[in-house]
Structure 1
Amino acid sequence: MLSNVNLSKDLQMLAFGGRVTIIGSRGSIEINPRDTMAKESSIMGVALFFATPEENKECAALLYAGMEAGWLRPVVGSQYPLDKAAQAHHDIIECPGAAGKTVLTM
């Protein structure tokens, strides 16, 4: 997410042969291609709205399995009650610097 802010740092942190998957960006970015060459890594862009219902189901199952196993640990940032969803959306767009996922609660 926010590859226009994080991609350069993401590429520097990758392991040899690693891959960065971009699923969100709010603008362009300039990167140093040597950050991918030195680690023989790759960058892949994904548009989730092209996924089939079966792919969405498989993705959700894999994410859930990773959280259950403990190797996937999402960072939770701001939390809003469901009736403040409009404020949450506003803050995501207007407030710079993402720190974790924004969560709506019941």
Structure 2
Amino acid sequence: MKNDEKALRVKYVRALEKFTNSAVSALKREDFDLTLFRERVQKNAKIFEKVQAVFLDSTYTKALELFVNECLDESLDQKTLASKANALYKLKNNQSYKKDKHKIKFKDEY
């Protein structure tokens, strides 16, 4: 049962990331058109029909889900969504750095 939950979670996170990558690439285009962006977002939202929504615990995955919901919201403009996408990537990259106390170099100094 636990493996099934993990598999569902992985599928849901991958669907969120796929949607987000598509939305971000559309936002960063030089010839950005809001109506085309809305059409693309609605088309990519069909990904979630195949995947069951799951409870997410990580800060990054919660932010990912929030960004997807904001993309589906019609009221936000390109600049706002682009800044939220940059904050999302910053959060993702922030998790890959180690603290100094976990590095071997830090242990040699003491």
Shorter chain as normaliser: what TM range? under 0.3
Flag the structure with more relative contact order, 1 or 2, with Cα contacts below 8 A and sequence separation at least 6: 2
Query: TM-score scaled to structure 1, two decimals?
Result: 0.28
Structure with greater helix share of residues:
2
Structure with greater strand share of residues:
1
